[in-house]
Amino acid sequence: MRMRVGFGVGILLTASFAFAADGDDKKGKGEGFDAAKLVGTWTYVSGMKNGQEIGKATIENGKVVITRETITLPSPDGKFVMKYKLNAKKNPVAIELEMTESPFGAGAKAAGILAVKGDELKFCYAPMGEAPKKFEAKEGSNHHYFVLKRAAAAKEKKDKGLSAAPNGFDEPRE
């Protein structure tokens, strides 16, 4: 049971960071979308699965690491890695995920939507079937919905203009 819950949360959390759209919502579909806003480390703010809130104890220390090609979720049950594809022509931005590494094997797929506004990432997905149309996970929907925030250390570094500094030069002097 614990592994099943871990897998579900793993897919949820991993999927949560797969796509992003600019929350400023410029008029046209996909306008203002910047996939680079996804790249980085994220932490969970809240989560809901099929109408049930995911307890803080389950997500409080969770993190998601997003690159231009993958989403990685380290967890007590093992590491979950997913590749993703974005469709910025849709509003909200659509994401397709495929598990490439997990304690349970590879190949699981999910479809979802996402939005990024500032340091907040909203991600909603369906582990089976069509992607959600709204950012919600009502009872009976089998949808998973997460809100994430950019990790504080990464934000501080970015705010100080150090995000592109080479190794060894990325810490400010006092």
The range of the structural domain enclosing residue 119 comes to 2-159
Residue 98 lies in a domain: yes
Reading the block at residue 93, the tokens are: 């931005």
Q: What is the CATH number of the domain that holds 105?
A: 2.40.128.280
Residue 171 lies in a domain: no
Per residue in 117-152, pLDDT (tens digit) is 999 999 999 999 999 999 999 999 999 999 999 998
Q: How many structural domains does the chain have? A: 1
Query: Is residue 172 in some structural domain?
Result: no
The reply to whether 173 falls in a domain is no
Q: Is residue 140 part of a domain?
A: yes
- Mean pLDDT for the stretch of residues 155-162: 51
Beta bridge partners of 117: 120
In the chain, the percentage of residues whose pLDDT exceeds 90 is: 57
The pLDDT of 140-168, averaged and rounded, is 71
What would the two tokens of residue 132 be? 């959600």
Per-residue pLDDT for 62 more than 60?
yes
pLDDT score of 77: 84
Kindly report whether the global pTM for this prediction surpasses the value 0.75: no
What is the pLDDT at residue 137? Answer: 97
pLDDT recorded at residue 139 = 96
* Cβ–Cβ < 8 Å for 110, 97: yes
Give the residue among 122, 116, 137 at the shortest CA–CA distance from 54: 137
Q: What is the pLDDT of residue 169?
A: 53
Among the residue ranges 43-47, 69-73, 77-81, 169-173, the one predicted with the least confidence is: 169-173
Instruction: Return the percentage of the chain with pLDDT > 70, whole number.
Output: 69
Give the CB-side neighbour count of residue 41, counting CA atoms within 13 A.
13
More confident residue, 30 or 133: 133
CA 12 to chain centre: 8
